Amino acid sequence: MFANRRTQSSIPSYIVLILLAIFALAPLVILAMNSVKSTPEIGRNPIGLPENVLFENFTEAWEEGNYAVTTRNSIILTVSTIAGTLTIAGLAAFALARLKLKGANLIAFYFLVGTSVPAQLFMIPLFFVWREIGLVNTHIGLIIIYCALYAPFATYLLRSYMVALPEEFVEAAKIDGASNWHVFRHIIMPLSWPGFLTAGLVIGLNVWNEFLFAVTFLPGTENRPIATSLFAFQQRFGRDWGLTSAGSVIMVLPIIVLFLLLQRRFIEGLTQGGLKA
């Protein structure tokens, strides 16, 4: 009787869930369809299926938006930040998880304070210092900032993986006289690769999408990533909806594909530790 009541009442449940799914996906589907329409067609038919599929929007957006350069810039920023952050966060996570550090609580407190400070507060002095020492408009200048911003999150994510590793591996190595570095490099790091993958994906997503620091610290046109150049592109071609939609699709498509392939890791990483995407 219970099971029967459940199936009956689950139809309204599915209706609500499907409506929510449409709410989540419809804007993205419309964006994708508009990216292959001409702008006059979008005026006549703003949310329907395209009458003529027009791939020229993509080639034109790629050229006009200088995507060959901005994609390269975004990849440089993303890959370097992932590598830099995982290196320093991996080391710190190892020490917090596996070495008896006096003052580990102090570090946790320090990270808590450091990650709750509003970015806008430290951005002002940081910008003028970065300008003084010539780091504004350089990739390395922004990569250093990203590494500092994302390292506390990555440290705690990796630490939770390393704490869960079985003790025996480490003990065996220690008896053989291995140094801390050796234990980290050859035992802990290979065993906690899922943590590195998860943290890397979350950091990569954040860097790819990041706007505030990118627009401030890379104001020039040659070094900027897709996010800020796409914004400028939208301002320039404001009413050319087909073209700007194509420009947006170029930026978001790789992310959605990667997310669908590795959704478990993305969701796990993004819902741990308050890092806003």
Partner 1 sequence: MTYSSQAATSPRAAKWLSALGRWAFVLPVLLLNLVVVVIPSVAGLAVAFTDWTGYNVPNFVGLANFQRLFQDEIFFLALKNNLVWTVMFLTAPIFVGLLGAYILSTIRHGQMFFRVVYFIPYVVASVVNTQMWRQLLNPRVGIGPLLAERGITFLDFPIFGTRETSLFGVAFVDAWHFWGFLVVLYLSAMSAVDVELYEVARLDGASRFQQFRFVTLPSIRPTLVFTILMIIIWSSTTFDYVYMLTAGGPANSSELMSTYLYDNAFSRFDAGYAATIGMMMSLWVALAVAGFVYLRRRGWEI
> Does residue number 49 form part of the binding site for partner 1 (CB under 8 A)?
no
CB of 52 to partner 1, least distance (A): 17
Q: Does the footprint of partner 1 cover residue 211 (CB under 8 A)? A: yes
Query: What single string gives the DSSP state of each residue in the chain?
Result: -HHHHHHHHHHHHHHHHHHHHHHHHHHHHHHHHHTTS-HHHHHH-SSS--SS--THHHHHHHHHTTHHHHHHHHHHHHHHHHHHHHHHHHHHHHHHHHS--TTHHHHHHHHHHHHHS-HHHHHHHHHHHHHHTT-TT-HHHHHHHHHHHHHHHHHHHHHHHHHTS-HHHHHHHHHTT--HHHHIIIIIHHHTHHHHHHHHHHHHHHHHH--HHHHHH--SSSS--HHHHHHHHHHHTTT-HHHHHHHHHHHHHHHHHHHHHTHHHHHHHHHSS----
Shortest reach from residue 59's CB to partner 1, in Å: 19
Please state the closest distance from residue 187 (CB atom) to partner 1, in A. Answer: 14
Is residue 156 at the binding interface for partner 1, with CB under 8 A as the rule?
no
Considering only residues 58, 67, 111, 217, which one is a binding residue for partner 1 as defined by CB under 8 A? 111
- The minimum distance between CB 11 and partner 1, in angstroms, equals 11
The one among 78, 81, 155, 198 contacting partner 1 by CB under 8 A: 155
Distance separating alpha carbons of residues 165 and 86, to the nearest angstrom:
18
> Of residues 213-242, which lie at the interface with partner 1 (CB under 8 A)?
216, 227-228, 230-231, 234, 241
Contact stretch for partner 1 (CB under 8 A) within 28-36, 50-58, 162-170, 189-197: 28-36
Q: Is 125 in the site for partner 1 (CB under 8 A)?
A: yes
Residues from 162 through 181 that contact partner 1 (CB under 8 A):
177-181
Count the alpha carbons within 13 Å of 178 in the hemisphere toward its beta carbon. 17
Question: With CB under 8 A as the contact rule, which of the stretches 11-19, 61-69, 160-168, 190-198 interacts with partner 1?
Answer: 11-19
Among residues 140, 172, 212, 261, which is the contact residue for partner 1, using CB under 8 A? Answer: 212
CB of residue 192 vs partner 1: minimum separation in angstroms? 14
- Is 109 a residue that touches partner 1 (CB under 8 A)? no
Closest CB 193 distance from partner 1, rounded Å: 19
Asked if 194 is part of the footprint of partner 1 (rule: CB under 8 A), the reply reads: no
DSSP E strands, 154-206: none
- Could you tell me the smallest distance in angstroms from the CB atom of residue 98 to partner 1? 9
Tokens representing 160? 């939770």
Indicate whether 188 belongs to the interface with partner 1 (CB under 8 A): no
* Selection from 90, 63, 18 nearest residue 10 by Cα: 18
Site residue total, partner 1 (CB under 8 A): 97
We find the least distance from the C-beta atom of residue 121 to partner 1, in angstroms, to be 4
Q: Which residues contact 73 (CB under 8 A, 6 or more apart)?
A: 139, 218, 223, 224, 225, 226
Identified binder of partner 1 from the candidate list 67, 94, 153, 217, rule CB under 8 A:
94
Q: Which of 95, 187, 203, 218 binds partner 1 (CB under 8 A)?
A: 95
